Amino acid sequence: MKRIVADGTYRWVIVLGAKVNGTSPSRSLQNRIDIATEYAKRHPHVKLIATGGQGPDEGMAEALVIERELIARGIEPHRIHVEATSTSTIENFQHSRLFWQGETGLTIVTNDFHVPRARLIAKLYFQLESDALYAPTPSLAKGRYVIREVLAYVKLLVRYLFKKDKN
């Protein structure tokens, strides 16, 4: 998928959740929040969707951490919509669909390694065009995330093929 960097075209920005340590964002999530904040300040017309539920080892839902951090950085609360129930990238989109319903595209905020799969999910499952904000991945975690991402592609392919067979 061609790398398309966000330029303010789409009205909705989906910030995909990532690990929370207690009630603090992990470095990966912090990078997503930082890049979403910069973008929202440059494009005051956009609305943001903070996504991500609370894992068993997290003290707070990822979406609520994103919301709190965006507000602390000066993003107006009325521009932030929260989806705090999802546990996967596909669910991030499914559970936030009510916010962006009727749109033909949106901006995806996630770490650089994750952007291609997130954009593929948007296209395959939700028929959405997309551009993206590529948050840097902490170098110490990059190897682990790349391996995890390869496995996630396999799971996505199997799930998509199984879904097509049911239709």
Tens-place pLDDT, residues 70-82: 999 999 999 999 9
| Closest by Cα among 49, 56, 61 to 16 | 49
Tens-place pLDDT, residues 30-43: 999 999 999 999 99
List, in order, residues 6 or more apart from 27 with CB less than 8 Å away. Answer: 138, 141
pLDDT reported for residue 113:
87
Domains and CATH numbers, the chain: 12-137 (3.40.50.620)
What's the predicted TM-score (pTM) here? 0.85
Q: Is 29 helix (H, G, I), strand (E, B) or coil?
A: helix
Span between the terminal Cα atoms of the chain, in Å: 25
pLDDT reported for residue 93:
97
- Residue 65 carries which side chain, given as an amino acid letter? V
Tens-place pLDDT, residues 130-143: 999 999 987 666 66
pLDDT reported for residue 167:
47
Cβ atoms 50, 64 nearer than 8 A? yes
